[in-house]
Chain A
Amino acid sequence: MIEKALKGSPRYFGALMAFLAVMGIGAGFYLVQLNKGLTITGLSRDVSWGFYIAQFTYMVGVAASAVMLVLPYYFHHYKAYSKMIIMGEFLAIAAVIMCLGFIVIDIGQPQRMLNVLIFSTPNSVLFWDMVVLNGYLILNVVIGWTSLMAYWKRQTPPAWVKPLVYTSIIWAFSIHTVTAFLYAGLPGRHYWLTAILAARFLSSAFCSGPAILLLMTLLISKVTKFDPGKEAVKTLSTTITYAMCVNVFFFFLEVFTAFYSGMPGHKDPILFLFTGYEGHTYMTPFMWTAAAFALTSLFLLVPPKWRENRDVLVPALILLVIGTWIDKGMGLIAAGFTPNPFEKVTEYLPTGPELMIALMIYAVGGFVLTVLWKIALEVRAEVEGGL
């Protein structure tokens, strides 16, 4: 099956080359980082995690979101997803690979990475995060590949895949829950110290992940003959809409708790994000953009008539993805560290090299995804005779 990745249109190879080029440029910057250390980032003693870890967090959500297809398909035998399911699983693979990549570029001593295994420490959530992420990667590789292989050979998938599928459904929830626990269990980090953090992570994952999947599927259906099916698009966009409602609702719960209680520890990070704190307002334009995009996307998605119209759906999904990305990929980490333990503000914005290195990981993900989707689409074309 793998040979299907080796033949393709100029457009396919063009995309791969583009990803390789970005990877190459990013790798150059990563070499600089290896040489000079994390000095080249905007990180500091007070804001010790930044863009890399934020992207990791966002991508875990994308990985977990495959469950929004897998669950209805396998639990409720929802056949409309039969064409999309493999795309979701392969997106999960690419997303987990990016997660692992973002962790590797973030640590100060990458060559000691395996210490996490050698001196495995069950009281550290990071240890469990590594376990669940790698487990999820393996699950998706095995499930995705075996099912596609069976489909290619026009057989039913082997019986042992079923239990793995059910495991992967629960597992998907665990990867984002454990990732939320990375943050939620820390004393003195008020913005993260909230029981609802894991729920917020899941709700934002379940809207943004499928939104990315849907956007990319629609793009693919434009450039190839692949058609996800009208009903699949309709159902998935409904799921996205519900998840986004829950996501926004959960955020309001945080706002209520913080401002009705009036407790400074809870209020300060939110104030920092939306109004600035002690004159530091560098996050506010981003956060207001995120809020505006989130609400606009909901406004466009909620009425079924608009949602079913692709000309509205696509921009709405794009707004949603940007909105949730700013919230998680920028705001979450910055507000966790601001104000710092001394109630002061140390500003953090990613530097150019930092962005380029992160882009390298995104390119790796894009490359993996392109290859995997290519294989999936070719197999489908072959079996069904031209889609």
Chain B
Amino acid sequence: MQSSRRDFLKLAGVSALGLSAGTLGFLGEGARAADALPTATDFAKPSTAKRWAMVIDTAKFDDALFKKCIDACHSNHNVPEIEGKQQIKWIWTEDFEGAFPTERPAYLAEEQEHRKYLLLCNHCENPACVRVCPTKATFKNNEGLVIMDYHRCIGCRYCMAGCPYGARSFNFQDPAPHIKNINLQYPHRTRGVVEKCTFCVEKLAQGKLPLCVEASGGAMVFGDLTDPNSEVRKVLKHKYAIRRKPDVGTEPGVFYII
């Protein structure tokens, strides 16, 4: 069922793109025409894995790189810019204490203390958000991606209570007016549903890397955790990496080299 849902998403993606390709012409400069529109052949060679995972080399980041990664994600995915406590974010930064509160950091090495840490959904192996969702709007596919069917979400926000990482945002209002340049290649959400990072499932389906990973210029690597030859495993073999809140048992798929 999960793989068929994936196929469906792909198909839906392709047909939606066909539609927007048709409208782009007369929408003119108001809409941001990104790269060439993907065609069915772009989906012919998807990247696949048993369990997608990410490693973030925290030392390699500075403010400019954070901005680049976050912008790449937020602008392409139509994440609205809303100020205040009802904001929406897929990927953002926190200080060490906020990112790794269960480490109870004290007398932290100065360098680590002043560093910021890039946070996003961990695409957990035992995701609490999937466990609690009453409609299967949040589901884990067979590649370990935790993704959402926004059309099925009833906005109960149980997943937000369930996620121990604060990775989810709720659309308190219609996001469209808060998106500066709508990317017509990607849908924006409606009011009343929850959203979050998807590990760029739509890029993987085209055999590409997630946008933030691409923008990071090597500071982030991405790959199959079950494959010893994958990029992530190669990095993890040599570097000590930690995950957020290991005590909650969700088995996060995002690793941090400290």
Q: Are A and B a genuine interacting pair, yes or no?
A: yes
Question: Which of A58-66, A134-142, A340-348 lies at the interface?
Answer: A340-348
Out of A36, A183, A343, name the residue touching B98 (CB < 8 Å): A343
CB of B208 within 8 Å of the partner chain: no
Bits for A84-109, please: 1 = Cβ < 8 Å to B, else 0.
00000000000000000001001111
Check A112–B97 contact: CB distance below 8 A.
no
Check A340–B170 contact: CB distance below 8 A.
no
A39 in contact with B131 given A109-B192, A112-B152, A342-B98 (CB within 8 Å) = no
Residues of B within 8 A of A115 (CB): 134-135, 137, 152, 154
Residues of B within 8 A of A110 (CB): 154
**Beta-carbon contacts under 8 Å, B231-258 to A:** 245, 248-250
CB of A212 within 8 Å of the partner chain: no
CB of A261 within 8 Å of the partner chain: no
**Beta-carbon contacts under 8 Å, A107-130 to B:** 107-110, 112-113, 115-116, 118-119, 121, 123-127, 130
Check A121–B97 contact: CB distance below 8 A.
no
**Beta-carbon contacts under 8 Å, A267-305 to B:** none
A126 in contact with B166 given A109-B193, A121-B136 (CB within 8 Å) = no
Chain B binding surface, main DSSP class: loop
Bits for A34-50, please: 1 = Cβ < 8 Å to B, else 0.
00111101011110110
CB of B179 within 8 Å of the partner chain: no
CB of A186 within 8 Å of the partner chain: yes
How long is the Cα–Cα vector from A38 to B157 in the complex, in angstroms?
Answer: 12
CB of A187 within 8 Å of the partner chain: yes
**Beta-carbon contacts under 8 Å, A322-351 to B:** 336-337, 340-344, 346
How long is the Cα–Cα vector from A44 to B134 in the complex, in angstroms?
Answer: 21
Residues of B within 8 A of A43 (CB): 86, 170, 172
CB of B20 within 8 Å of the partner chain: no
Binding site for A on B (CB under 8 A): 84-89, 94, 97-99, 101, 104, 128, 131-137, 152-158, 160-166, 169-174, 190-194, 245, 248-250
The 9 A-B residue pairs with the shortest CB-CB distance, nearest first, are: A108-B155, A188-B164, A108-B192, A44-B85, A342-B98, A187-B248, A341-B166, A48-B160, A126-B134
